A and B are shown apart, each in its own frame.
Chain A
Amino acid sequence: MSATGIGAAVRRKEDQRFVTGKGHYTDDVNRPGQCCAYFLRSPHARARIRAIDSGAAAKAPGVLAILTGAELAGDKVGNLICGWMIKSKDGSQMKMAPHPALAHGMANHVGDAVAVIVAETLAQAKDAAEKINVDYETLPAVTDPAKAQAEGAPQIHEVAARNTIYQWHLGDQKAAEGAFNAAHHVTRLDFINNRLAPNAIEPRAAIGEYDSGTDGLTLWNTTQNPHVARLVISAFVGIAPEHKLRVIAPDVGGGFGSKIFIYPEEVVCLWAARKIGRPVKWVSDRSEAFLTDAHGRDHVTHAEMAFDVEGRATGLRVKTIANLGAYMSTFSSSVPTYLYGTLLSGQYDIPAIYCEVDAVYTNTVPVDAYRGAGRPEATFVVERLMEVGAREMGVDPADLRKKNFIKKFPHQTPVIMNYDAGDYHASLKKALEIADYDGFGKRKRESARHDKLRGVGISTYIEACGIAPSQAVGSLGCGVGLWESAEVRVNPTGSVEVLTGCHQHGQGHETTFAQVVAERLGIAIDNVSIVHGDTDKVQFGMGTYGSRSGAVGISAIVKALDKIEAKAKKVAAHLLEAAEGDIVFQDGKFTVAGTDKSAAWGDVALNAYIAHKFVGAELEPGLKEGAFYDPVNFTFPAGCHICEVEVDPQTGESEIVAWTAVDDFGTVINPMIVEGQVHGGIAQGVGQALLEGVVYDKDGQLVTGSLMDYCMPRAHNLPTLKVDMTTTKSPSNPLGIKGCGEAGAIAAPVAVINAITNAIGTEDLAMPATAQAVWQALQKVNSRRQAA
């Protein structure tokens, strides 16, 4: 391994600009003549907009325009769409309701944009907004997914009877029924997977600019996938033809899924920029982010697992109601279906699985993919059932998992996925050792001496990453292909630019991608630049989410590098006056096999461009190759996380005292960066388990509307994390990469809940397990004990 090659903990190339304040985020961009947009938002969860009087506001100082949904419709600006068509079990298509970028006629959640005020300054736009009088007829709202389908519940969209978007199912109902009929033991659980606000620290932002000279539009945008944004905004919303729209995603300050989607504000900024003839900038504030960034999770689930007399899981049945909010966000439909149901086999050989999911509209912010997206919810189902099942049957939870692990690969689950490689024993064994699982009893007694309750919780999770084989997802309703593209441009001086369709917003691609290229070409890592996030530079790409950039994005780069090497060998053959088949390329040098004749990388690069040594008609000058890589399968990162907690029974406060993570991500390019991804994922999972939860009141008001009310994990909420790895390479891509971005967030919540419930002796505990929730659960246990 070289000092900067695959496997080296190279310090990040991008950090120089970030630690010196020289990052270039969307809000740092200012265009000549720029004006500011402010959105007037519905204060009601559900209301008919009878009239909007903006007469006084239009005369306010600095105001350039006040635009509403009526004008948007008048200009025939299309609706936002959800790009994954899910069919119900009766064969009918999902019920996608219109989603205009500005509400027209009806406002359907608190925060739904009703008008945009464009003014010289933001302060002037905000002042003018106060002068707008909207005549609302408030209507009853529904926010609880469990109540959305009830008879008499407010009907949010005409197209969706009983607010039901689809009733999807997966698996074999009869086989599952057979397993339950024959079961020796059945574990049953009801739980809510709590609704989360993503809270990337950089709020979303957009600048739209129109150039009347070229009739072109440019959008600077906080997006994880600029090309998909351009595609949707041109093909569906119809703001501009694709070749007349440039989307630039500069440095983006975290995404976690929330910046995948195409949002109303970016559409409106483009539309308004053309109308007004000046660049229009909008920057979300944090309170606005709570009201508009797509939320995550929000499942209500009943699940049951059947075991035979040996403790083998023989069947799994799951019924989930998934809240998709007021409108269907870009990929919302896929999250509680193909990113959830397909992972319900976990790491286990479960012969029969049946899953039903009803997706519903409510008068809440749209819900879409948030770090893990469906897979944390699936892991929570499987790992709670396995843990509680073990406790009910009186066996060690680690032993029960071992008994049920899949041991042979490839393994076809009953829910679509074909696991290609893994060693679940290895990660569990290593985690148990690092966590000193055998010494837990002693530590528990020690805690008891200090009047603390100690608990341990295991989570052996699996995820499907490397999203995704295009034909496979196409057959399941996905509207796009999920390949990735790369272009490798070798300059005459031998330095290299790599254009990728992936986008980085914290992942360190400028370093890891360069490591792969530097090692392959035998050049210094400083001679490699990674270019991303601009549709005028990169031809097309599917962006970054679903832990796909390593497994799919790097694979595309490897494929392009194969072509570069093949072409460079032809050039070298001419240069060295040898047969092409005799050229060997190693460590940045082209050698004629069996001789001491060689040419350096730089010589070949230069000769490719000056083209003095070959005839252009036989070999094209230049050294630039592109590739599209379409995965042959998903990848299946998996591992074991063990959480140990101490609970103070007087206060209900839970402290995480130890965390062990052993993950199998296949080939790791940069272990420092991969560990960082695990740390961050765990923090988000711990946040879900202990602190975070979006709360709506019965009228649909968002109670947790700011960082004063929504509890984010801070440094003191987290312990020092022990992170280690085991490795089985993915056979499904050239380097054996699996992906690591979401593992922590998938594994962590259920590890925490398994630990706390182990400590307090009751399974009846909802997330977030705040001190109050744990204390109340303990009171129930105590009163039960007293009654007995």
Chain B
Amino acid sequence: MSAVALTVNGKAVTGDVDPRTLLVQYLREHLRLTGTHVGCDTSQCGACVVHVDGKAVKACTVFVWQLEGANVTTIEGLAEPSGPLHPMQEAFREHHGLQCGYCTPGMIMTAVDMVNRKGNELDDPTIRHELEGNLCRCTGYHNIVKAIAAGAKAMGKGQSQPAS
């Protein structure tokens, strides 16, 4: 077993885990943060994207023991639980950027990371290129692209900044 200690959504967490425990398994099975989803086994789908120390990471690609002392943000930690939605969450809702909702947490975490790296004015080709690590089977991406462009703008208007 491996001892782990890290911060998840602003809270210190510790545990003793099987060394093969992936970050996504730790989040879902140990912390019961089930908003981070598993859609594949080859790191292709992006349903499990979270932020590790402010950067988008597929939570199926790292063992939790590798993250000693890291600061992890999941979809549950993006906005205050009782407060308003994060602007990117709000944009996905407003622009119908989701249908079944399964890829959505990963999409939103990827989108926030995209804005953090690329700024608030994102054009269509940039967004589509940046989404190459995320699969959606429902939306045809059309409204996801619209939502991310709008969410990026909204994030620039001094509304609540990304938590991570």
Contact = CB atoms under 8 A, between A and B. Distances in A.
Q: Which residue, of A18, A251, A707, has the highest number of chain B Cβ atoms within 10 A? A: A18
B137 A680 contact: yes
B99 A715 contact: no
A201 B140 contact: no
A778 to B, nearest CB: 26
Nearest to B133: A714
A708 B132 CA distance: 13
A15 B125 CA distance: 26
A23 interface: yes
Contacts, number: 185
A706 B41 contact: yes
A204 to B, nearest CB: 12
Given A12-B93, A21-B105, A707-B44, A253 B141 contact: no
A606 B42 CA distance: 56
Contact of B137 (A28, A712, A720): A712
Nearest to A672: B96
Contacts of A506: 99-101, 138
Interface in B47-104: 47, 74-76, 78-79, 85, 89-90, 92-94, 96, 98-104
Interface residues of A, number: 57
Contacts of B47: 201
Contact of B85 (A20, A505, A684): A20
Contacts of A253: 37, 39, 100-103
Contacts of A426: none
B59 to A, nearest CB: 12
B98 A15 contact: yes
Contacts of A716: 125, 128-129, 131-132
A285 B32 CA distance: 19
A365 interface: no
Contact of A680 (B35, B44, B90, B138): B138
B56 to A, nearest CB: 15
Contacts of B142: 676, 679, 718, 720-721
A21 B35 contact: yes
Given A27-B38, A201-B100, A251-B101, A708 B44 contact: yes
A44 B39 CA distance: 26
B44 A18 contact: no
A201 B135 contact: yes
Nearest to A256: B137
Given A202-B37, A707-B45, A683 B102 contact: no
Nearest to A283: B38
Contact of A123 (B18, B28, B44, B93): B18
A673 B102 contact: no
A25 B18 CA distance: 25
A507 B141 CA distance: 16
B136 interface: yes
Contacts of A505: 100
Contacts of B102: 23, 25, 200-202, 253-254
Nearest to A16: B93
B150 interface: no
A22 B102 CA distance: 11
Contact of A202 (B39, B98, B143): B39
B112 to A, nearest CB: 12
B63 to A, nearest CB: 13
A714 B78 CA distance: 25
A287 interface: yes
A254 B20 CA distance: 29
B108 A19 contact: yes
A254 B98 contact: no
B35 A715 contact: no
Contact of B104 (A19, A507, A744): A19
B137 A254 contact: yes
A254 to B, nearest CB: 4
Most buried by B among A199, A286, A676: A676
B163 interface: no
A682 interface: yes
Contacts of B36: 21
Contacts of B108: 19
B7 interface: no
Contact of A714 (B76, B99, B132, B138): B132
Given A19-B92, A253-B100, A199 B137 contact: yes
A544 to B, nearest CB: 12
Contact of B99 (A16, A287, A680): A680
A720 B141 CA distance: 9
A639 interface: no
Given A25-B102, A253-B101, A676-B96, A20 B45 contact: no
A708 B33 contact: no
Contact of A203 (B38, B42, B100, B127): B38
Given A27-B38, A251-B101, A718 B140 contact: yes
B104 A202 contact: no
Nearest to B143: A676
Nearest to B39: A201
A197 to B, nearest CB: 11
Interface string A496-515: 00000000011110000000
B14 interface: no
Contacts of A12: 93, 96
Give the residue among B89, B96, B124, B125 with the most A Cβ atoms within 10 A.
Answer: B96
Contact of A18 (B104, B135, B137, B144): B104
Contacts of A23: 35, 101-102
Interface string A695-709: 000000000001110
Interface in A108-124: 123
B40 A707 contact: yes
A14 B132 contact: no
Contacts of A252: 100
29 contacts: A19-B90, A19-B104, A20-B78, A21-B75, A23-B35, A25-B37, A27-B28, A27-B37, A30-B32, A200-B137, A253-B37, A254-B138, A256-B137, A287-B42, A505-B100, A673-B96, A676-B138, A683-B137, A683-B139, A707-B42, A707-B135, A712-B44, A713-B140, A715-B131, A715-B141, A716-B125, A716-B132, A718-B141, A720-B145
Given A201-B37, A285-B38, A714-B134, 11 more contacts: A12-B93, A19-B108, A21-B35, A23-B101, A201-B137, A253-B37, A506-B99, A506-B101, A673-B96, A715-B127, A718-B140
Interface of A: 11-12, 14-23, 25, 27-28, 30, 123, 199-203, 251-254, 256, 283, 285-287, 505-508, 672-673, 675-676, 679-684, 706-708, 712-716, 718, 720-721, 744
A-B interface, 10 closest residue pairs, ranked by CB to CB distance from nearest:
A21-B35, A253-B102, A18-B101, A683-B140, A506-B100, A506-B99, A679-B140, A21-B75, A707-B44, A286-B40
